[in-house]
Amino acid sequence: MARTTPTGGGNRTPVPVKVGRSFGDIMKALFAFLALAALVVGVPFSLAVLIGWPLPRTMPSLDTLQNEISTTVFLKVLALFVWIAWAQFTACVLVEVKAALSGVGIPARVPGAGPSQLLARQLVGMLLLISASAASFVPGIGGIGGAFDGGGSAQVVAEAEQTPGGAGGGGGHGVEHAFRTDGGGTEAEPAMALPNEAAGAEDSAEAPTKYYRIQPPEGRHHDTLWGIAERHLDDGLRYKEIYQLNKDRVQPDGSKLTEASLIRPGWILEMPADAHGGELVEMPHDVEELSQDEAEEFRDYQRTGDTEWPAADAEPGPGPGTGPEQAGIAVPELGLAPEDAGGGPSLPAFDTTPLQQLPDGDAAEQEAQAAQEAGDEAGFGLPEALLGAPLLAAGLLMALGRTRRNALWASAAGTLTGRGVGDDLAPTTPAAHDVRDALLVGAAPEAVGFLDRALRRLSAALDAEGKVLPPVYAAWLTGHELHLQLAAPAGRPPAPWEPGQSDTYWTVRRDRLPAAGAAGEAPDAEAPYPGLVSLGVRDDMRLLLNLEAVPGIVSVTGARADREAVLASIAAELATSGWADRMTVSLVGFGGELTALAPTRVRYLDDVAGLLEVMETETNLRRGALRHTGQESILTGRTGPARQQQWAPHLVLIGAVPTAEQADRLAALAAVSAQLGIGYLVTSDRPDLPGIAWEFEISDAGVLTEPEMGLELTAQVLPAAQRAAVVELFAELTREPAGGAAGVPGPAFTVDLSQRGKPDVYAQVMGGYEITGLSVPDAERGEQLREALALLLLHREGVHPRVLGSALWPRGVPDDVRDALIERLGGWLGRDATGARRLLVAEDGRLSLAAGVVSDWDVLRTLHHRAVSVGGGTAAERKRQLTDALSLARGPLLAGVREGGRFGWLEHEIVDAQYPLLVSEIALKLSAEQLASGGSEQAYVAIRSALAASPTDERLWNELLRSAKATGKAEWLRGAADWLIAHHAHLYGPAQALPAQTEALLDELLPGWRSTVGAAG
């Protein structure tokens, strides 16, 4: 699928050739080093020595300000501005160094820096490249002013000639690759660079040889191999053919086109036979049109290759065709392409064969899937897009859990104003509530676990065999199998993986992997393919595209709202995927609010211009780092000793439409990105963007197609309204409530603790699970009814029927079965004395419990809110409330009933993290109240009681020592210290040191504790 750009002007006039460039490059690099040292070190040193401290050492009076400004004062004012400028530039240097050394990501913009940060970026990049023996890839000092203007594309496109492991070319040049089959002797060719067979060698030999002379820059335009291939071969991806024809051949200036060289004005390039355009020179036909010096240069260059010129008057024979099928490098497709008529090799594609060849799963799994499909027919108003995106929903659910825990810990530390650890963390808006319920229903964490474990085991097995990871274009995921589509045949995979239906497929069945939690099921391996992301579904198979392996740009076209829905889904899944370790996702001109999902992974840029500034430098840095470590690509560095380099991908999602110049520069970057772990996806209404490898189109019906491959999927999307609700779900957790500290919301449900508030039904969920006030349910239905009640007790805001069904039947349940359980639950709970039902159903269908059904968890939160968050009443009343609350915490939540596969939904609940923090806060508050009134022994007992429910809270450890010291009994302090040391060793092992604050407190309260511990050891 060739993409064209307007042809540029050119001529065949002689171009002055620069000789001896290497010395100049070294001098530029040396100058950059000296400039950086002078600016960062020399400026402050000079100011300190010559000017001194610029600010007055005492507060100036009004009379001083009215005095005439002396020369000394004037110089100090100027020095102050220089100090400010130096500090800004130094901050820019630090930011750029941090970003460059991390190997991923876009450096933060220093406010108001502008040119200062640009200068810092160029200098730092040059120095880091020197350290990686790749200084020639950084723009020189002379190019600093043009970095914002697009002048960097030439240096990046030149990397097309040097891509590790690439590339096939025309003219019979072979393709090299590092993969070996199990036989050890056969090498697989990289699919992204396989040329098709050209016409016969005899015919080609009779055709004139075509050459192109690299032109000097014209304004912002620099000649690049990509641009040359676009103009003269109609496909920028064919730049590799040009590179192979000219690699290591001596140029007129004496240099060569090698891995560490850029193309330069005046160089001569031999072109494939089907090249066309007025800038080309056909030899020997055009020899009479050249000067004698030019003709001699072309003859000398011809001798460096293996091309023989025919006589000038010879009749050219039929040459190869001009289409990409005859002379170009085809773009890899998503399906097994048939053999060409001429017998040339075909490229691997996203094969649809697995759709028809899937082995049948076990009957129970098929029945559960059918039940899930039946249940999906009634959505109850939940967002269907999230219900149909199990991997995305699981990632968002896990990320939401992390965000909720962070908010909870921030509340406990007092850094989140206006929130307490006992407050509700449930959604506060109907839209966010619907989205949270859709995540709970649609999430498939077991599928994420299967995908992650399968890929990591593959990586570990290949590493153990001394093999590298094969490039993977895509994966097809089902409920019981994972199919990886390789870029090229790579032999037989290690067990439990098996060959698929073709030599470019590896397959693993879910039942062949060790069960989750089994010994050895989580190998110590890097995430091998973190760039995999869901595009959509076809016949119950989910297609995941590996963005970091695409040899070019992935494009999505269609109506703006539709393509943004696709882009948002991809961004959200990459931000939260559970099969990746480290990753940077850059959003450009779209979705800045999505950074709330994963602030350490997702970054936002306003426009393409800002992106290009950084990505050209990062591309060079990554390229230099690969050469420095001897790796062919980032993928080969994810196994073996190079794993310590942490080869993280950088995936760029662009929602802004680039200009023509920006599109060319972006295509140049994408052309060399596959080996560097960088991927580009652009959503645009322009079908003519250069450098596109795969172009998808999204319809208003939600169908994603790639017409040239015949691929059609039901797209995975995240529409604007649901995207906003997802973001709100995360953002509200870190937002200060209205009213600040005075607006502490408290729990959604509080218990009437007076005598008239005595509950009809009371459940104890802390330290066990006991229910009073209800009859014993039937033995066959009892466990499900008790579990459903526990879910409702921990969600007083209400539970959606589909959430209830997915919690009790994680593999799916038909609607009628779920509704029958809800009816039985209502019958079991019955009615209160007034005849009102205890199981309430809201207008939106959500289920909740009446106020007469209470748990000890409700009472605990109510007492905490009154005594700690509100802090009302006398000291005696607060101590009584805190003592009552602490007495309720008898042990872990729902202890003794969480085994045997039930209550699995608690993994996604915040209550397990909230409970110990709540108990700790109650105990610390009670201890403070007791110590203030002289009850040191009561304070000690309160802390010891809380440690049963919150054994890892360092605040309780330290308070235990303080309260023991306050008793004045040496044996109490000694006993507390001994218990604490033994307790810590039990939790973390004897080799793990105590926390620093705890050690310091022991040194203060019990100076001889270290010798006692040493003697005991």
In this predicted structure, the answer to whether residue 829 has a pLDDT above a threshold of 90 is yes
Instruction: Kindly indicate the confidence band of residue 375, based on its pLDDT and cuts at 50, 70 and 90.
Output: very low
Query: For the domain 754-908, what is the CATH code?
Result: 1.10.10.10
Confidence band (pLDDT; 50, 70, 90) for 166? very low
* Local confidence band at 150 (pLDDT 50, 70, 90 cut-offs): very low
pLDDT of residue 262: 59
Confidence of residue 198 (pLDDT cuts 50, 70, 90): very low
Question: Poorest-confidence range of 221-225, 493-497, 704-708?
Answer: 221-225
Distance, in Å, from the CA atom of 771 to the CA atom of 790, rounded to the nearest integer, reads 10
DSSP annotation of 109: P
Cα 970 to Cα 981: distance, rounded to the nearest angstrom = 17
Q: What is the pLDDT of residue 125?
A: 66
Supply the pLDDT for residue 429.
86
603: confidence class by pLDDT, cuts 50, 70, 90 = very high
Does pLDDT of 313 surpass 80?
no
Q: Which of 63-72, 327-336, 413-422, 684-693 has the highest mean pLDDT?
A: 684-693
| Mean pLDDT score of the chain | 77
Residue 368 has pLDDT above 70, yes or no: no
How confident is the model over 877-912, as pLDDT tens digits?
A: 889 999 999 999 988 889 888 877 788 898 888 898
| pLDDT score at 41 | 87
Average pLDDT on 136-147 reads 31
Measured CA angle at 331 (ends 327, 337), to 5 deg: 90
Give, for 1010, the enclosing helix (H) or strand (E): helix 1009-1016
List residues bridging with 602 in a β-sheet: 585
Find the mean pLDDT for residues 993-1014: 86
User: What are 843-873's pLDDT values in tens digits?
Assistant: 888 999 999 999 999 999 999 888 877 766 7
Best CA proximity match to 632, nearest among 240, 177, 237, 225:
177
Query: pLDDT tier at 824 (50, 70, 90 boundaries)?
Result: very high
Residue of 65, 576, 574 lying closest to 587 (CA atoms) = 574
268, β-bridge pairs? 213
| pLDDT in the model for residue 310 | 53
For 652-670, write each residue's pLDDT tens digit: 999 998 999 999 999 999 9
Does residue 514 carry a pLDDT above 70? yes
d(CA 258, CA 249): 9
Domain boundaries, the chain: 21-149, 165-316, 754-908, 910-937+944-1017
Is the confidence at residue 8, as pLDDT, over 70? no
The Cα-based distances of 654 to 268, 453, 568, 612, 715 in angstroms read 36, 31, 11, 11, 18
Give the mean model confidence (pLDDT) for residues 226-247: 82
Residue 882 or 262, more confident:
882
Place of tokens 């496109």: 157
Of 105-119, 427-441, 615-629, 793-807, minimum mean pLDDT range: 105-119
pLDDT at 641: 61
> What is the reported pLDDT for 764?
94
d(CA 993, CA 989) in angstroms, rounded, equals 9
- Confidence tier at 15 by pLDDT (50, 70, 90): very low
User: What is the average pLDDT across 244-270?
Assistant: 77
pLDDT band at 623 (very low <50, low <70, confident <90, very high): confident
- Rounded to the nearest angstrom, the gap between the alpha carbon of residue 220 and the centroid of all alpha carbons in its chain is 34
Q: With beta carbons less than 8 A apart as the criterion, state whether 765 and 771 touch.
A: no
Position 575 scores a pLDDT of 95
Kindly tell me if the per-residue pLDDT of 607 is higher than 50.
Answer: yes
> What does DSSP assign to residue 869?
I
Mean pLDDT of 398-413: 89
Share of the chain above pLDDT 90, in %: 38
> How far are the Cα atoms of 109, 553, 591, 602, 717 from residue 606, in angstroms, in the given order?
12, 20, 10, 14, 23
Using CA atoms, how far apart are residues 786 and 393, in angstroms rounded to an integer? 27
The amino acid at 1016: A
Q: Whole-prediction pTM value?
A: 0.67
- The b/e string for 963-978 (b: 16+ C-beta within 10 A; e otherwise) is bbbbbeeeebbeebbe
Give the 3-state secondary structure of residue 366: helix
> What is the reported pLDDT for 438?
93
